[in-house]
Each structure stands twice: as C-alpha cells, then as structure tokens.
Amino acid sequence: MDSTITAEAQQVSRRSFLKGAMFGAGGLALYAGVFERHWLEIVHKEVAIGGLPEAFDGIKVAQLSDIHLDEFTEPFLLRESIDEINRAKPDVVLLTGDYVSAEVLPRNLTAKAAWQCGSMLSRIQCPQRYAIFGNHDVWAGEEHVGEALTTNGISVLRNSYLPLERGGARVWLAGLDDPVCGRPDPDLAIPASIRNRAGEPVILMCHAPDFVDELRDHPAGRAISLVLSGHTHGGQIRLPFVGALHLPPGGRNYVEGMFQVGAMQLYVNRGIGSVGVPFRFDCRPEITIFTLRSV
C-alpha cells in the first residue's frame, strides 16, 4: 500500500516537474523571441582619437549593423532603429554590413529584401551615410545589395576610402570588403598616401572584427585610429556562466564592446538582427552613437 502511494507520488512529482520545465522553457522563448529581440538599446560612447582635428571634436557618428531583413528582423524594428538615429541627429551614419540574411530564403526573395532595406534606410535624415558589405551580403549577391544601397543614396565602401571634411580639416573614412567571404585589401582601403598624416586620422569600417589581428601587423593597420565592426551579434544568445552559445568565424576573439588592439581602437556592435533562430537572450539589439573627442 505504502509503496503504491510512493510510486504515484513520484509520478505526480515528475509530471509537475516536466510541466514546470515546459512552462519555463516557453516563457524563456517568449521573452527571447518577442521581448528582448525587439528591445533596442541606444549605446552612447565617447571615443578619444589622437590627432583628431579640432573641427571634428564633438562630432556624432551613429553605427547601425547586422539588420538581417526579413529573416528575422521585421520592418518595424528597422523603422524604430531609423527613428532613434534621426532623433540623435548624428553628423555621420555608418552601416557595417549584413542588410539581409542569405541562409534560408531563395536569392530572389533575398534581393527583394535588400531593396526594401535600402528604401527604408533612405529615411535616415543624415546626408552622410556610408556602408560596407557583410558576409550575408556577399552570399546574397553584392550586386543586388550594393545597387539597393547606392540607389537609395548610401555610398558603399569596398576596399576604398574617402575624406570627411569639416571646417577646413579632414578625416579619412575607409571600408574593407568582408573578411569572411569577400576579398579585403587593406592596401586599397588605406593606401600609403593617407597613412599617418598629421591631423588626418583614419576610421575603418570592417564587418568581421577578428580581422584586426591581421591589421595589427600590417602597415595600413598601424595608421588606423578606430575600427567599427559588427558580425557577432554580441553572441545573440548568452547564458550565465556559459557566455555565447555560438560565435561565427571571424567573430570569436572580439565579441562586443570596445577593445584596444595595438594602436587601434575597435568597437564591436551587437547589431539589431538575429540569425539561425529568432531569439536574443542577455544580448539586446544595439544602435551606437559615438561622440569623437580630440586628444
């Protein structure tokens, strides 16, 4: 009799545990997929740059990265991101790659998403808008993504550079092709003619942050003051005492935030999108507003 009661109690206990576990897992999935994945964080950073001209002291630079429209980023999240950027009134907006996802959808649908993304990005009110490609853009077809951006008034830097001019002074902005799937060429992006010029620092956009380890020992790398990257999503799903469950190739040494790599400062943006699964946990989507300071 007692053994029968004990067995029944154990079965009830197991059922209660499994039911509780299922509810707990469902709650976590709801939080990660609906709440945190859409909970934008606006990160403000002051960055001191040696040799920054006085005319650029206090300039605001907004970074938006890893949009991944429409898989799994809904248009409303991109609209909210653009609204936040416009409210910040930046002087320059830098877009550091992966405007679409190229893992599941057919190429024609991915190309359509690229055009939708480019059209939406045209709503950014800052006239100085510059972009680079990420690995998903290369997979999706740079011709589609590039045309979608440039047609909508966004300049794409692919192993190239241009001057940012203000009050008679100049800063160089450079962009590399994606280090994971493209052909990054530091000598084209940062040629000897713009390296280590007094009062003319170089800011580099490079989608995959781990490439700074190669740049550190390259003559072009020694001329860079600040690198802005994305790619990692900050880990996207991070568990206590475990950290990120997955990190992509090219994004395993520098996961999120600010780093000092040799003479370069590196910032890794968490992006606003997600890939693989439509979840974020302990890793909110991010827009970064930098204020540059001269030293």
Q: What is the pLDDT of residue 11?
A: 59
User: Within this chain, do residues 170 and 44 fall inside the same structural domain, yes or no?
Assistant: yes
Q: Is residue 13 located within the same domain as residue 145?
A: no
Task: Identify whether residues 34 and 44 lie together within a single domain.
Answer: no
pLDDT at 5: 55
pLDDT at 108: 85
| β-strand partners of 166 | 169
Note down the domain range covering 73. 40-294
pLDDT on residue 105: 81
Q: Do 120 and 207 belong to one domain?
A: yes
Q: Are residues 80 and 98 in the same domain?
A: yes
Asked if pLDDT for residue 68 goes beyond 50, the answer is: yes
In a shared domain, residues 103 and 46 = yes
Question: What average pLDDT does range 117-129 have in this prediction?
Answer: 98
Q: How many domains, in total, are found in the chain?
A: 2
Lowest mean pLDDT, pick from 31-35, 47-51, 94-98: 31-35
Statement to judge: residues 187 and 259 lie in one domain:
yes
Q: How confident is the model at residue 106 (pLDDT cuts 50, 70, 90)?
A: confident
Task: Give the pLDDT mean for 26-40.
Answer: 87
Q: What is the mean pLDDT of residues 260-289?
A: 97
Tens digits of residue pLDDT in 180-222: 999 999 999 999 999 999 999 999 999 999 999 999 999 999 9
What CATH number is given to the structural domain containing 187? 3.60.21.10
- Are residues 231 and 248 both part of a single domain? yes
- State the pLDDT confidence band at 26, using cuts at 50, 70 and 90: low
Same domain? For 12 and 152 the reply is no
My answer on whether omega of the bond before 72 falls inside 30° of 0, hence cis, is yes
Are 101 and 71 a contacting pair, CB within 8 Å? Answer: yes
Q: Which residues contact 157 (CB under 8 A, 6 or more apart)?
A: 130, 131, 132, 173, 174, 175, 189, 205
CB 103 within 8 A of CB 68: no
Residues 22, 138: one domain? no
Closest Cα to residue 73, out of 105, 38, 102, 104? Answer: 38
**One domain for residues 133 and 197:** yes
Query: What is the average pLDDT across 228-232?
Result: 98
Residues 58 and 28 in one domain: no
Q: Could you give the CA distance from residue 228 to residue 189 in angstroms, rounded to a whole number?
A: 14
